[in-house]
């Protein structure tokens, strides 16, 4: 059975990634925290169901921070 993570963008649209493994999941007093390993983006940090960053997009964040 395949496991997919879907981040809802609008009421009728979501973006899905195939999950290889859930590395960590916990509920803090402030938010739900998950670290998952995905096929397309590698490891992904998800807070309250919203993707915060991924290994696959790391170069974008790094480039921006290096020039700011």
Q: What is the pLDDT of residues 18-52, one digit of tens each?
A: 999 999 999 999 999 999 999 999 999 999 999 99
Q: Which residues contact 22 (CB under 8 A, 6 or more apart)?
A: 3, 34, 35, 36, 37
Rounded CA-CA distance 53/3 in Å is 20
54: three-class secondary structure by DSSP: strand
Q: Where are the domains of the chain?
A: 3-66
pLDDT, position 9: 92
The more confident residue out of 49 and 59 is 49
The CATH architecture one would assign to domain 3-66 is: Roll (2.30)
Residue 66 has pLDDT above 90, yes or no: no
State residue 10's pLDDT score. 93
Strand partners for 39: none
The whole-angstrom distance between residue 46's C-alpha and the CA centroid of its chain comes to: 4
Q: 52 with 58: CB under 8 angstroms?
A: no
């Amino acid at each position: 059975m395949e496991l997919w993570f879907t981040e809802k963008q609008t009421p009728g649209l979501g973006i899905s990634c195939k999950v290889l493994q859930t590395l960590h999941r916990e509920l803090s007093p402030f938010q739900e925290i998950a670290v998952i390993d995905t096929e397309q983006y590698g490891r992904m940090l998800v807070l309250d169901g919203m993707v915060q960053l991924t290994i696959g997009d790391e170069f974008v964040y790094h480039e921006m921070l290096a020039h700011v």
